[in-house]
Amino acid sequence: MAREAVWAVITAMYDAYRRGDRAGIDRLLHPEATIWDSVDPVLITSTAQLDKVRDARPADGPRETGVAAGDEVVDVWGETALARYLLRVDFAEGEPEIVRTTAVLRLVEGEWLIVHIHENTI
């Protein structure tokens, strides 16, 4: 089913994130993907820009202990899909952060790829 395949891409992205596997994340992104990251006000339009945002995250910032995507609503129209979900980010100290996230995916040569992500911290 297409809906399950789309959600599998989303969850695979966060599995790769937890492993620190940038290449694993990047394989799920369309080469022309755009991203509104929750911590950066600039629209990311390339892997080079994404890497700059990744590298700018402070090494001594709050230590994440987990991320989990849930409460998903996924719609598929032919070769286009829209996934809306909440991302919970847990930290060693303090309250979790909840990020409302919308992802747009396209079916490219039989594979769902993320073409846009929009994150908004609650």
Return per-residue pLDDT of the chain as tens, 122 residues.
999 999 999 999 999 999 999 999 999 999 999 999 998 899 999 999 999 999 998 888 888 999 999 999 999 999 999 999 999 999 999 999 999 999 999 999 999 999 999 999 98
Whether 67 and 88 have beta carbons less than 8 Å apart is answered as: yes
Euclidean distance between CA atoms 110 and 19, whole angstroms: 26
Q: What is the pLDDT of residue 114?
A: 98
d(CA 98, CA 89): 6
CA distance readout (Å), 51 to 21, 25, 115:
12, 12, 17
- Report the DSSP pairing between strands 29-36 and 111-121: parallel
Per-residue confidence (pLDDT) for residue 79, from 0 to 100: 98
What is the predicted pLDDT for the residue at 102? 98
CB-count exposure of residue 86 (10 Å: 0-12, 13-18, 19+):
middle
Q: CA Rg, the chain, in Å?
A: 14
* Amino acid, single-letter form, for residue 108: V
All domains in the chain, ordered by first residue? 2-121 (3.10.450.50)
